[in-house]
Amino acid sequence: MTVRDGTPESLRGYGCLRGEDYVLQEVQQPRRVVISVVRCHNGDIPTVSVKTSGPVPKDTIRDVMAAMCTVQVTAPISVGDILVPNVCNLGVDVVATRGVASC
């Protein structure tokens, strides 16, 4: 692939249109799913693992992580619970990926 001024000029080697779309997005606006933990009170473990419900622009990851640092939840927590709706106004939620029982 040849890129000039952030725009691909030639692209080859992809096997399908999804591959082409992925490469274009990766060059123009890379996105990532953010995975972390948040504090959990009254739980059988002190933290609950979380992730964003979808990818966020790569340049907003620090903001998303900063928002997650301020979150404190109380057990019980179930897998899939939305802990931070619409984090940083990006249109994705922070959801629990592990359940935490009350102690």
- Give how many domains the chain has, as a whole number: 2
**DSSP type of residue 86:** T
Task: Evaluate whether residue 92 is within a structural domain.
Answer: yes
Q: Which residues pair with 31 in a beta bridge?
A: 57
* 53 and 24 both lie in a single domain: no
* 76 and 65 both lie in a single domain: yes
Give residue 80's pLDDT: 97
Residue in the structure block whose two tokens are 């990926």: 97
Give residue 21's pLDDT: 76
Task: Evaluate whether residue 102 is within a structural domain.
Answer: no
Task: Evaluate whether residue 63 is within a structural domain.
Answer: yes
What is the Rg, in whole angstroms, of the alpha carbon atoms belonging to the chain? 18
For 17, the 3-state DSSP assignment is helix
* 8 and 44 both lie in a single domain: no
Task: Evaluate whether residue 101 is within a structural domain.
Answer: no
Find the domain containing 1 and state its range. Answer: 1-30
Give residue 25's pLDDT: 77
Helix ranges (DSSP H) in the chain: 17-28, 61-69
* 22 and 39 both lie in a single domain: no
pTM: 0.79
Any idea what the CATH number is for the domain that residue 78 is in?
3.10.530.10
Token pair belonging to 52: 């964003």
* 69 and 40 both lie in a single domain: yes
CA 60/CA 16 separation, integer angstroms: 29
* 84 and 66 both lie in a single domain: yes
In tens digits, the chain (103 residues) has pLDDT values of 555 666 666 666 666 777 777 777 778 889 999 999 999 999 999 999 999 999 999 999 999 999 999 999 999 999 999 999 999 999 999 999 999 999 8
Is the preceding omega at residue 46 within 30 degrees of 0, hence cis? no
Give residue 8's pLDDT: 60
